[in-house]
Each structure stands twice: as C-alpha cells, then as structure tokens.
C-alpha cells in the first residue's frame, strides 16, 4: 500500500524544546516537501529536497531544519527559534519530473505548544 506517512498525528512542544516530525514515503519519489498550514493562509513551503543529502529553503524556513539521509525519509525539526510553531504540518512528495507532476500529501501532524 503506497503512500506517505507522517507521525505523530499530534505533537506537543514545551517552551525552548526542539521537536521532530517524521515523514516517510514508499512511492519511490525523488522530491519531498514540508508545508505549514495556518487557518486562512493556505499552505506555505518550509523546505524541499530534490535528492538525498540536499535540500533548499522555502518561503518560511526560519526556525526549522531538515535532513535527507534516505530517499524515503524527510524529517522536519521545529527548533526553539520558531516562536509561533502551532500549526498543521504537511509533508508531500512527487516524482520531481516534468511540469505536470503531482504532489502527494501525507495526513499531517498538528503541533501544539504547551
């Protein structure tokens, strides 16, 4: 059963704490993406990765970090520098080929600050 999995579904962060959101895909896609979704603001791109061991900042990368050590995994760390981390985080992947490629989204992780 191919797809994208994100864990956990809900995550609670204390002040000053770093937390890591997991994203795994078994679609054999090259490209992976992280988005942040806030009410009324649509989805905003945090980071994306075209290939293993390389990634690029998106529009709102400050306070976040990523790694891409394996093709199927693209974890996102929300650092203590991110002052307003409460949001719904979505991971996506795509084949990365051609203008008509589709991005497939995972079910999301909702991050809340205690």
Q: Tell me the number of residues near another protein by CB under 8 A.
A: 32
Binding window for another protein (CB under 8 A); candidates: 12-20, 62-70, 75-83, 91-99: 91-99
Instruction: Determine if 45 is a binding residue for another protein (CB under 8 A).
Output: yes
Instruction: Determine if 108 is a binding residue for another protein (CB under 8 A).
Output: yes
Bridge pairing between strands 19-25 and 76-78: antiparallel
Q: How far is the CB of 54 from another protein (least distance, A)?
A: 8
Q: Pick the binder of another protein from 52, 58, 63, 67 (CB under 8 A).
A: 58
d(CA 30, CA 51) in angstroms, rounded, equals 6
What is the DSSP code string of 49-113?
EEETTEEEE-TT-TTEEE--SBTTB--EEE-TT-S---EEEEEEEE---STT---EE---EEEEE
Interface residue list for another protein (CB under 8 A): 4, 31, 33, 35, 40-45, 48-51, 56, 58-59, 90, 92, 94, 96-97, 99-108
């Amino acid at each position: 059963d191919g797809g994208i999995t994100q864990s956990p579904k809900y995550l609670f962060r204390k002040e000053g704490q770093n937390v890591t959101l997991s994203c795994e895909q078994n679609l054999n896609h090259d490209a992976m993406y992280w988005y942040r979704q806030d009410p009324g603001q649509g989805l905003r791109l945090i980071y994306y990765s075209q290939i293993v061991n390389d990634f690029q900042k998106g529009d709102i990368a400050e306070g976040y970090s990523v790694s891409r050590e394996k093709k199927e995994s693209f974890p996102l760390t929300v650092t203590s520098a991110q002052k307003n981390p409460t949001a719904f985080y979505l991971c996506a992947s795509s084949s990365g080929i051609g203008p008509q490629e589709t991005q497939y989204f995972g079910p999301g992780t909702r991050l809340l600050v205690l």
